[in-house]
């Protein structure tokens, strides 16, 4: 008898699967979901090449896609639920199964598994199409591809947690009322976070730390801390953190007495140039690091097409939005082989370039120099010709030789710039010049911890926002999600932001205050002996586990409803 029931169950299972896959309503709504989701992926993939605009567009389209695609997917799940749990009951198919000896719990589970299987089937099609569009997009940066992939992966989670709600409503109410309630549920889930955010802003109570400047400051500390860690134990180069003058050179860039050649060195990565018969960085301890990288790079054959007439650096022509993305990994791999003592440093450069480039060059269009404008709060140098000085006196034989190396290996300018900017971040912070009330020196940063704690409590305490945070993704690189959300044109719900511990912030501000005291032969980095522990944020793993557990409970309750409504 058991064998006969099992055989009957398999027959019914595959018969219903065939019927559901041929159901026109399910097919149409499933295809509409795939089309809308794919359309937004394509729009994101074809977004502006202007760095900050890339992220703004991605964030905006991602939020709109969450509403539109999520709502369509809810309708799709509703039709699947009604097909298996309402229509077949009304058509008497459930009663036929029960008379054939199939237990009620088996009848429920196979229907639920079919509903889940069909929804995942369409999600898999959507994922593969979206993955294809993402891989062929013009984006080279890891961060952007991560944003798109987390968006696609969300829909594997959605039917697991949403379907039990929709099934419960579909079994409890009539067709018309059930559909209306399911649509209302979808509106609450997919529109509420943004409606609440808009309401909060209209009331004038939006949290100050949602502003981009606070994200910049946190990222600046993160990059400076990592740079310090990459060299602090290197006996050959750790003395660069004993420097006392370089902070003030950065602080003086807006003054007229700082020449074009020095600005090129610090802001454009052309750090091997000569001023007369001396190298421009010769007075700084970091010069030996920059020089040895330059000398090793002479042996490298170019890995890029000629860029002599392309404006990968910020120039007047770069305002036309022209850019060249230069892959620096081959050069870094060569340098790691030639200079193994700097292996950790080159890993740091690669990490920054791959994961933070799009964020930290958002200040202005045109290549790497936007870094100086945004995170490090210094205006980039606008130059008419990347490889030539307007002042003929500076076009010396030595500088022309340096320019030849830069033309051959432009990666070296990028590496120079990232190293010098990371070095500065490890030694200096703009708290004193910032209009950032939370992080300013004048209040000793006393608001930093309390403001972020309050923000996180509000964000994590509202479970209506949970699915949005899961959809947004949990980039493992600190502050990436926080920054992307902060520049979105779409109203965002209160954010669960990462932040540093109170003790670390207070110590950094104390050291920043003392930065003008010249102390020789001491490690003056802001991050010496600091752990820089991260707090806050939204734990997606815990949230997913909790929601799946809750869904399992709801599935059990649904089985009881199914049993109660089943009649022989």
In tens digits, the chain (568 residues) has pLDDT values of 455 566 767 777 788 888 888 999 999 999 999 999 999 888 876 665 555 566 677 777 888 889 999 999 999 999 999 999 888 777 777 777 777 777 888 889 989 999 999 999 999 999 999 888 877 765 555 566 677 788 889 999 999 999 999 999 999 998 899 999 999 999 888 988 777 667 666 655 445 555 556 666 788 888 889 999 999 999 888 888 887 666 555 555 544 455 677 777 877 788 899 888 888 888 888 999 999 999 998 877 654 444 433 334 333 333 334 445 567 788 888 899 999 999 999 999 988 887 776 666 544 333 333 333 333 333 344 455 667 777 777 888 898 899 888 877 878 888 888 898 888 888 877 665 544 455 554 555 556 677 777 777 767 777 778 888 888 876 567 777 676 666 665 556 666 778 888 888 888 877 776 655 555 556 788 898 888 888 887 888 888 999 999 999 999 999 999 988 876 5
Report how far residue 438's alpha carbon sits from residue 200's, in angstroms, rounded to the nearest whole number: 20
For the chain, the maximum distance between any two Cα atoms, rounded to a whole number of angstroms, is 99
- The helix (H) or strand (E) run that includes residue 301 is none
531 close to 504: Cβ distance less than 8 angstroms: yes
Report how far residue 293's alpha carbon sits from residue 272's, in angstroms, rounded to the nearest whole number: 10
Q: Check residue 265 and give its pLDDT.
A: 80
Q: Check residue 305 and give its pLDDT.
A: 43
371 close to 417: Cβ distance less than 8 angstroms: yes
Local structure of 6: helix, strand or coil: helix
Report how far residue 534's alpha carbon sits from residue 528's, in angstroms, rounded to the nearest whole number: 17
Local structure of 390: helix, strand or coil: coil
Q: Check residue 162 and give its pLDDT.
A: 95
Q: Check residue 258 and give its pLDDT.
A: 55
- The helix (H) or strand (E) run that includes residue 501 is none
* Ordered DSSP codes for 441-485: GGGTTHHHHHHHHHHHHHHHH-GGGHHHHHHH---SSTTHHHHHH
Reference 338, options 394, 299, 288, 308; nearest CA is 299
Reference 290, options 276, 269, 274; nearest CA is 269
Helix boundaries (H) for 232-313: 246-251, 260-267, 287-297
Q: Dihedral, CA atoms, 357, 360, 363, 368, nearest 10 degrees?
A: -40
Q: Dihedral, CA atoms, 64, 65, 68, 70, nearest 10 degrees?
A: -130
Reference 361, options 406, 311, 313, 409; nearest CA is 313
Report how far residue 189's alpha carbon sits from residue 209's, in angstroms, rounded to the nearest whole number: 25
Q: Check residue 558 and give its pLDDT.
A: 94
Q: Check residue 59 and give its pLDDT.
A: 75
Q: Check residue 483 and give its pLDDT.
A: 67
């Amino acid at each position: 008898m058991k064998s006969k029931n099992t055989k009957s169950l398999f027959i019914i299972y595959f018969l219903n699967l065939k019927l559901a896959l041929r159901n026109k309503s399910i097919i149409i709504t499933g295809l509409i979901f795939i089309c809308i989701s794919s359309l937004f992926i394509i729009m994101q993939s074809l977004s502006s090449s202007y760095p900050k605009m890339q992220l703004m567009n991605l964030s905006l389209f991602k939020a709109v896609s969450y509403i539109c695609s999520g709502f369509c997917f809810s309708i799709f799940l509703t039709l699947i639920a009604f097909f298996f749990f309402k229509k077949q009951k009304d058509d008497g198919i459930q009663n036929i199964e029960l008379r054939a000896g199939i237990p009620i719990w088996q009848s429920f589970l196979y229907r639920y598994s079919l509903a889940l299987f069909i929804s995942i089937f369409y999600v898999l099609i959507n994922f593969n199409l979206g993955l294809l569009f993402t891989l062929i997009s013009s984006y080279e940066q890891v961060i952007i591809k991560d944003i798109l992939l987390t968006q696609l992966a969300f829909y594997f989670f959605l039917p697991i947690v949403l379907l039990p709600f929709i099934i419960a409503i579909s079994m409890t109410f009539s067709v018309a009322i059930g559909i209306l309630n399911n649509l209302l549920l979808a509106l609450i889930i997919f529109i509420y976070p943004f409606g609440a955010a808009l309401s909060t802003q209209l009331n004038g109570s939006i949290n100050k730390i949602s502003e981009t400047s606070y994200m910049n400051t946190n990222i600046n500390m993160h990059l400076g801390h990592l740079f310090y860690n990459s060299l602090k134990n290197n006996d050959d180069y750790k003395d660069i953190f004993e420097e006392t003058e370089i902070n003030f050179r950065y602080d003086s860039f807006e003054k007229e007495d700082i020449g074009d050649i020095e600005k090129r060195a610090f802001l454009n990565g052309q750090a091997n140039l000569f001023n007369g018969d001396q190298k421009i960085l010769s007075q700084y301890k970091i010069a030996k690091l920059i020089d040895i990288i330059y000398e090793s790079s002479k042996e490298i054959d170019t890995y890029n097409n000629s860029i002599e007439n392309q404006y990968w650096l910020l120039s007047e022509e770069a305002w036309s939005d022209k850019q060249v993305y230069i892959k620096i990994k081959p050069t870094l791999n060569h340098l790691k082989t030639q200079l193994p003592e700097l292996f950790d440093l080159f890993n740091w450069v690669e990490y920054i370039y791959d994961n933070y480039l799009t964020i930290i060059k958002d200040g202005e269009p045109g290549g790497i120099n936007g870094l100086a404008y945004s995170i490090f709060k210094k205006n980039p140098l606008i130059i008419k010709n990347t490889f030539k000085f307007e002042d003929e006196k500076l076009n010396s034989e030595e500088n022309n030789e340096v320019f030849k190396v830069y033309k051959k290996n432009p990666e070296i300018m990028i590496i120079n710039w990232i190293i010098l900017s990371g070095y500065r971040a490890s030694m200096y912070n703009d708290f004193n010049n910032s209009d950032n009330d939370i992080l300013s020196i004048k209040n000793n940063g006393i608001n930093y911890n309390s403001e972020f704690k309050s923000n996180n409590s509000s964000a994590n305490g509202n479970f209506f926002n949970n699915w949005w945070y899961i959809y947004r993704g949990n980039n493992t690189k600190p502050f990436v999600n926080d920054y992307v959300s902060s520049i979105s044109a779409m109203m965002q719900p209160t954010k669960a932001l990462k932040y540093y511990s109170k003790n670390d912030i207070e110590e950094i501000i104390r050291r920043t205050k003392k930065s003008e005291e010249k102390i020789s032969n001491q490690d003056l980095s802001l991050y010496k002996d600091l752990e820089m522990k991260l707090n806050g944020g939204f734990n997606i793993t815990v949230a997913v586990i909790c929601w799946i557990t809750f869904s399992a409970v709801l599935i059990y309750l649904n089985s009881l409803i199914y049993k109660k409504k089943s009649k022989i």
